[in-house]
Structure 1
Amino acid sequence: MTTPHAPPDRSVVERTLGVLGAFDTAHASLTVSQISSRSHIPVATTYRIVSKLVSWGALERAEDNKYTIGLRLWEVSQLAPRHAGLRAAAVPAMFDLRSTTRRAVLLSTRDGTEGICLESVSGNARPLHRSWSRGHRFPLHATACGRVLLAAADTTVQDELYGGDLRRYTERTVHAPAVLRDLVAHTRRQGYAVSDGELLNGVVEIAAPIHGGDGAVLGAIGLITVGTASTAVPDAVGPLLAAARRVSRSLSDLPAAPGDAVPSPRTARSRTPRPQGACA
């Protein structure tokens, strides 16, 4: 509750923190009324704060008029030494995949019509692009991880992306909506995606989905190398798919978040090695 003489900025900060503090492991999805009750903030005020937090990305709208913690808040939280369950499960497999292929490995998830790199492990090539370093966003249409995540997204997200401006990053970037639809459908059928010089010239990315126990796609694991798809893909697909299956098995008890095909991962208790350097 606001004290009678509390400065306005202090009141706003305290109430905003109260809204975020209403969420915990036992209350990961809440309605505005539930947030109001748990934070002791009037419903009308709670609704205004929740709307602002949704627009900023700290909260996300789920099913049944409920809200969950958003990926934007996760991005900020990466400044603190806390690791999510998806990362904890994936990092050992990422190191093994790097050792097997000697290529850069990345782990990603989707936020709306963009991808976010959750973690990366350096390969033997030169540094490539900041989009493949932890915490950075990347386009779904021009990357292999992006197409894997897009293939798992609902039709609303797909239609929004296809109807928007598909930016060309190189001459090879697929920017025609009809062609992209076909590529996403092909990705869904074959179980992996390939991007050949579409985000950066001469850079090949191969990616496969990571599934939870209910079959929902929780993220994508990808390999990045310099060269051409004809030389990079044949030797990489087998190890990549094996790594994706390994991570998926370890996440078999992780449920999907309400209303999202790519849910936010849970915090894990296990300790895993920390990758060194950027993704490539």
Structure 2
Amino acid sequence: MSRPPSFTPPPGVRAYRLGTDRGEFAVLEADAARDRVKGTALLLPGFTGSKEDFIVLQPLLAAAGYRTVAVDGRGQYESPGPRDDEAPYEQAELARDVIAQAHAAGAPVHLLGHSLGGQIARAAVLLDASPFVSLTLMASGPAQISAPQQQRVKLLHDALAVLDMAQVWEAIQAMEPPEDVDAGAIDEGLADGEDLRRRWLGNSPAQLMATGRQLCTEPDRVAELAAVGLPVHVLSGDRDDTWPVPLLDDMAARLGADRTVVPDAEHSPNTDQPAHTARALAAFWDQVLGAA
């Protein structure tokens, strides 16, 4: 589970509900200074994550000239969705949501997806690339997640089948090392347990069931994405247990993509090393802008 530093928007970041032709979505938006707006980026969080995972990146990207809109997808945290019907969370449906969000945010936009968000972003581009000027896959691989992570998702699936969300949260906490639950968050300046619990309870269990299954069964669609011709950036930490870094290197090569490896970062470079991550994102978007 990603741990943002805060769930309170910092100065320059505002929370609101983005209206689209597929419903409303909770977002955090940071505007660039009026005299240096270079473009807009739509930011998609990962499995069990939320828009707050980008809360440190957004002011940094605003300073670099990029307006950003970070979104809770359907059934994530503060964006409502059915809690007992998985059909609205099929990947194609979530991809259509992203296309609608891009248009509402002011297409064409740079699209970034973290982990599960990267696979949904890829599906959106393959469905209709016209609202996007580039795609960044952040810690998001070519196909299904690693075997150990598949086992963790299966355990979650089994728990959600017999327990409610509050009971599952308690079970997750009982399985975490004490230093990760308590001191780790305090020492690293991360969001406290109550914030994380509130986010967890906001998630739709049907969404977690459906997207967890997608993570474990996603096919390799790299060749399809390469054929689209959209500029692609593959960014990750230098360690990742969800998709091994060599696998991400190979995917970038197959895509002819830009590749950034953020040092001293794991599966969430956006929260592990936000300054380095923001510089790499802005540099890629600047490059795309210059080539346009």
TM-score (norm 2): 0.25
Which structure shows the bigger proportion of residues in helix conformation?
2
TM-score (norm 1): 0.25
Larger radius of gyration: 1
